[in-house]
Amino acid sequence: MRQIVLDTETTGLEVRQGHRLVEIACVEMVERRLTGRHYQTYLNPDRAIDEGARLVTGIEDEFLLDKPRFAEVVEEFLAFIDGAELIIHNASFDIGFLDAELARLDNGAGRIGDRCSVLDTLALARERYPGQRNSLDALCKRLGVDNSRRDLHGGLIDAQLLADVYLAMTSGQDAFDLGFEGAAEQRHAVVTAPVILRTRPCVLHASPEELLQHERRLDALDKSADGQSVWRRLS
């Protein structure tokens, strides 16, 4: 499965007030593994950036003057995302701006939903952590994702962080359910044949760095479980 983690930066918050995209950033995952491929571009929005947006992104109007307009990069961008599942935090915001840019072209490009399915990680986080803060920064802290590079909101950094958050959020305890809560007869229903070893097994020991990463992951699971995770109890 091919997934594209996407983030945008804009001149302001309201697309209905004519605000425009100033940055699009995407990172690619295939079968839940980052491939190293990414797409990123700044855009000339043909309008000024709101002061609030400038303070958040650090992007100045002068910086964008020589950047391409959306119409100049749309084919390359659509080719990168075409057919993938888009992973976006607060997807309605980004999709709204992208669809507005496509509508301005008047070339039959359609809408993003015509080309891609969309998974909203904000909706996923609200389902998993009801009543808690679910901003990208809050999720990084909760799931043990290092966001120390995020001094300002940059599209590519945010997309990379969101990829880590998504992978952590979708590979937690429920993904490793060993059936401890199931009925006893179900837990003992599987019969396996004895394993016969023909050669001496090779034992691979974790490095100190891997052990440290393991402990950090357990700490994150403890926080998301509001107590001791199942892995701590087993150990």
The tokens for 228 are 């001791």
Look up the domain containing 158 and give its range: 2-171
In this structure, are residues 10 and 98 in contact, taking their beta carbons and an 8 Å threshold? no
- Residue 57 is part of a domain; what is its CATH number? 3.30.420.10
HEC states along 147-177?
Answer: CCCCCCCCHHHHHHHHHHHHHHHCCCHHHHC
Average pLDDT, 10 consecutive residues per value, the chain (235 residues): 96 95 97 95 97 92 97 96 97 97 89 96 96 94 87 80 95 42 35 45 68 76 66 60
Strands 2-10, 21-30: pairing kind: antiparallel
C-beta of residue 40 within 8 angstroms of C-beta of residue 57? no
| Pair (59, 128) in one structural domain | yes
47 lies in the same domain as 108: yes
Annotated catalytic sites, by residue? Answer: 153
In a shared domain, residues 149 and 95: yes
Tell me, yes or no, whether 14 and 114 share the same domain.
Answer: yes
Classify residue 97: in a domain, yes or no: yes
Instruction: Please report the pLDDT score of residue 218 as a whole number.
Output: 74
pLDDT of residue 214: 75
Spatial separation of the C-alpha atoms in residues 142 and 66, rounded to whole Å? 39
Three-state DSSP string of 105-125:
HCCCCCCHHHCCEEEEHHHHH
The answer to whether residue 192 is domain-embedded is no
pTM of the model: 0.71
- pLDDT of 176 reads 35
Residues 77 and 30 in one domain: yes
Number of domains in the chain: 2
Q: Does residue 74 share a domain with residue 10?
A: yes
Last residue of a domain, one of 171, 194, 221: 171
Q: In what order do the strands lie in the sheet with 33-42?
A: 33-42, 21-30, 2-10, 85-88, 117-120
Are residues 57 and 165 both part of a single domain?
Answer: yes
Does residue 198 contact residue 117 with C-beta atoms inside 8 Å? no
User: Is 195 among the domain residues?
Assistant: no
Q: What is the structure's pLDDT at 147?
A: 84
Residues 6+ apart with CB under 8 A from 118: 85, 86, 88, 91, 95, 112
Residue 157 token pair: 């950094």
In a domain, 197, yes or no: no
